[in-house]
Structure 1
Amino acid sequence: MKRREFIKLMSIGGFTLANLELSKEKKKPNIIFILTDDLGYGDLSCYGGTDLETPNIDNIASSGIKFENFYANCPVCSPTRASVLTGMFPDLVGVPGVIRTHITNSFGYLSSIAVLLPKVLKSAGYDTALIGKWHLGLESPNTPNEHGFDHFHGFLGDMMDDYYTHLRHNINYMRLNMEKIDPEGHATELFTEWSIDYIKQKARSDKPFFLYLGYNAPHTPIQPPDEWLKCVKDRNPNIDDRRAKIIALIEHLDDGVGRVVKAVDDAGLSEDTLIMFVSDNGGDLPAGASNKPLHGGKGQMFEGGIKVPACATWKNYIKSNSINERVLLTMDIFPTFCEIAGAKFDHEINGLSFLDSLSGENNEKYDDRFLFWVRREGGLHYGGQAFYASRYKNWKLLQNTPFEPLRLYDLESDPNEQNPLDERHEKFHLLLNELQNHIIRSGAVAWQKYPVKI
């Protein structure tokens, strides 16, 4: 029997050997990674949201896999993005907190030792693009093009003060590669259109591509287009105005995601393209987000701050309507995409590939590893210091400011984190010791550029 016939035979009735082969005879798969900003766990229909409609993101989940226990590496933005692109705990690459315009309020600087995903994928023959939000540096040497992206069309900064002017502190951070640009339009629509243009262009090439699409939505300011807000209010006249606005912004985002997926289909690339969708942290409760049924929200180490919606689709590889319960983090994306691309790297990382989970082979809930979360922040509540969480399997140790004691929870019996256990519990000391070791390791990595001039 010929090898090709054998592989075809083995694929009958399931996604087995033929899928895992990622055959050398075929073009390497394209990878599209969509990262949203502050999307809550309960703010998608497919995650239980009942007052909003997100058919396009829901379709990614139903046509592929939905992750029940996917976590951002931080309850705020920059550190999670650092983990995605390096496969590392963010404080081990110099990004324990949010990178901002003003040095007195900026708590990260991407380390020169960091090796980013696009550089590794380029070595495997990929064209690499970032469209949308970067948030890992505002100037050289920490710009997207200098870290391996062939094409950058988007926003360098943390948040926009206006979705139409795209300014932050009255500064223009919009770029086409290294060139400052001043486009017109809502940021969500711009990033969608630029992504569609990129997909159409790459469809004419034999080279595989990696597209990282970083939407600003639904981060504040909650500024949906008027017509989208009207639709929400017409559908539910009694809805609270704050909630209506964030629903409209999310549904507008969902429409953009749908247009990007349609562009892949129209280009005839759907069988050769993995599309993954994730949020960078929990929803912002004061802005009207929902993290139901989780406790807490953005900025906190409770589940609502770090557990995020995540789903992926890949025709002929991921079975439709798959559900995975494995505890995974955004830092696991780096090794997964590298394995899919056949991209080799020789440095140590913290993440684990979950390619076997995409194929349905691994649905074990826990890997045997300790997990850590950090957030360094300024102001009255934080004082420029860091606070942490650590986890081993179902045991989680956390604090929500540097000035409060650590608390231990058993997430199996207490998923809403309401009943802290006694600090004499053996798992308290186990997690504390591992956390201290992690803090010591991270102490070797600077999070500001030396010398700091204030």
Structure 2
Amino acid sequence: MKKTNLLRASLFILLTLFWQPFAQATTAQQTRPNVLVILVDDLGYGDLSSYGATDLKSPHIDELLNRGMKFSNFYANCPVCSPTRAALLTGHYQDMVGVPGVIRTHPENSWGYLKPSAVTLADVFHSAGYQTAIIGKWHLGLESPNTPNERGFDLFRGFLGDMMDDYYLHRRHGVNYMRRNQKTVDPQGHATDLFTDWTCEYLKQQATSESPFFLYLAYNAPHTPIQPPEDWLGKVKQRETGIDPDRARLVALIEHLDAGIGKVIQTLDETKLSDNTLIVFSSDNGGQLGVGANNGALRDGKQSMYEGGLKVPTGVVWKKHIAPHTETDFMAMSMDIFPTVCEAGGIKVPSGLDAVSFLPTLQGRQQKPLRAHWFFRRREGGNRYGGKTIEAVRSGQWKLLQNSPFKPLELYDLQTDPLEQKNLAESNRQKFNQLSGLLRAEIQRYGSVPWQKPLSPYSKD
């Protein structure tokens, strides 16, 4: 009997020693936050009711932002789609990963090729034991090796291309780019509804998983074509009497998007995932003025280096870590999301990033500016630019920009002139020369990275 008790005690001690590190690891895994990054497409700075819109109702996004910290001074890396997405997913200025412009179907009008060696957020989270998924718009490559499953995502349900010619048919130039992983699919329904439903389905599955998840939800709304469901358009017309027809369609598309995001948040709440999920909401660039977007009082919009093309509505939510109902004018940009969510997940941030974490700001701690100089650049083709670039540099209150490759650089003092009305290029040559020198050096740095498809599969990166 004594021998039996002694054996049991010995086994208990051995099991305790064996189990303790395992139990600690399991607990650590369970406490690591899930991460959901919601990126919408072409949402103007003034196109949420929480950012000043008076003819538009966005209760679900507004309520989401109220759960955490809302940014009034957040910038997209670029005033068009692909470059901002490349920056967000790699933590680098877009030119440094080979995506200076929009990636499109036809090679003669495609302006980027995601650098093969670039490490993505999905790569990093996957290596850390997270389940990784993208639902929605990819827009960083149409073929191998630059498809989502080859760039770190376990699951891809969405659209490879730059835009849809029809929200219901999901084609671009007659090509079906809708995929479930590598398989071409042809689902029925409005793209916003599909992406919402697929996300809710994924979240319900993850609620029973032992692994945390990183989900990148990239809606293509409210990008053109401005095609809201007819019932949503009818509600807007009935409510907003006398509204411009183009504006009515955009408002309806945004309100429909808002309802979809509401369903996603509701699913997070119902599955209790919202208790430990860090949520980032942002837009890839400013709103497109030609289709009725509202960028508030900011100058210009999408495709422009003025503030209306770059400043975007953004918020971050993380229950018990970020105080609700808080606002900040702290400046950050799309690529800074990368190290921020890594640090929140306890994941080592890759070295050499251009991006800097703003997690201290989210947690209510004082933080110095993320960088002394901020660069924005876009290469584009078509008849308007002919393959040339536009760019800007922000240094403190000063901003130097070239909004057309055929016009001189312009200098603005954003502290006294936030709407960029008074060009000081001639009256302050000292500041002009300083910033133009910084911009020139940065452009030279970008020149080290190719942005076209290699000529051979054996080409070096």
Give the TM-score range, shorter chain: over 0.9
Aligned with residue 336 of structure 2, among 308, 332, 343: 332
Give TM-score, length-normalised by structure 1: 0.92
| CA RMSD between the two structures | 1.3
Q: Distance in 1 between matches of 2:165 and 2:110?
A: 17
Give the 3-state SS of the residue equivalent to 1:148 in structure 2.
coil
Aligned with residue 388 of structure 1, among 379, 382, 391: 391
Q: CA deviation at 1:214?
A: 0.4
Within a 5 Å distance, the mapping from 1:24-423 to structure 2 comes to 24=28, 26-362=30-366, 366-423=369-426
Structure 2 portions without partners, runs of 5+ = 1-26, 457-461
Q: CA deviation at 1:231?
A: 0.5
Q: Report the AA paired with residue 363 of structure 2.
A: S
Q: Distance in 2 between matches of 1:362 and 1:278?
A: 23
Q: Report the AA paired with residue 142 of structure 1.
A: N
Within a 5 Å distance, the mapping from 1:8-27 to structure 2 comes to 24=28, 26-27=30-31
Q: CA deviation at 1:345?
A: 4.1
Q: Decide whether the 8 Å contact of 2:409 with 2:425 is kept in 1.
A: no
Give TM-score, length-normalised by structure 2: 0.91
Q: Decide whether the 8 Å contact of 2:30 with 2:212 is kept in 1.
A: no
Equivalences, count: 429
CA deviation vs aligned residue, 1:75-118 (integer Å, no higher than 9, x gap): 00000000000001001110000000001111111111211111
Q: Report the AA paired with residue 450 of structure 2.
A: A
Aligned to 1:16: none
Q: Distance in 1 between matches of 2:414 and 2:118?
A: 33
Q: CA deviation at 1:346?
A: 3.9
Q: CA deviation at 1:294?
A: 0.7
Q: Decide whether the 8 Å contact of 1:86 with 1:115 is kept in 2.
A: yes
Q: Decide whether the 8 Å contact of 1:336 with 1:355 is kept in 2.
A: yes
Give the 3-state SS of the residue equivalent to 1:380 in structure 2.
helix
Q: Distance in 2 between matches of 1:320 and 1:434?
A: 38
Aligned to 2:459: none
Change (3 A) 1:214 1:97: same
Q: Distance in 1 between matches of 2:56 and 2:102?
A: 30
Change (3 A) 1:367 1:338: closer
Q: CA deviation at 1:449?
A: 1.1
Q: CA deviation at 1:238?
A: 1.1
Q: Distance in 2 between matches of 1:91 and 1:288?
A: 30
Please identify which structure carries the higher helix content: 2
Give the 3-state SS of the residue equivalent to 1:433 in structure 2.
helix
> How many percent identity over aligned positions?
57
Give the 3-state SS of the residue equivalent to 1:149 in structure 2.
coil
Q: Distance in 2 between matches of 1:61 and 1:132?
A: 21
Give the 3-state SS of the residue equivalent to 1:230 in structure 2.
helix
Q: Distance in 2 between matches of 1:344 and 1:315?
A: 22
CA deviation vs aligned residue, 1:387-432 (integer Å, no higher than 9, x gap): 1101111111101121111111110000000001134432212211
CA deviation vs aligned residue, 1:13-71 (integer Å, no higher than 9, x gap): xxxxxxxxxx9485200011100000000000000011000000001111111001000
Q: CA deviation at 1:363?
A: 6.3
Q: Distance in 2 between matches of 1:417 and 1:312?
A: 28
Q: Decide whether the 8 Å contact of 1:367 with 1:393 is kept in 2.
A: no
Q: CA deviation at 1:369?
A: 2.0
CA deviation vs aligned residue, 1:365-385 (integer Å, no higher than 9, x gap): x44421111111112321101
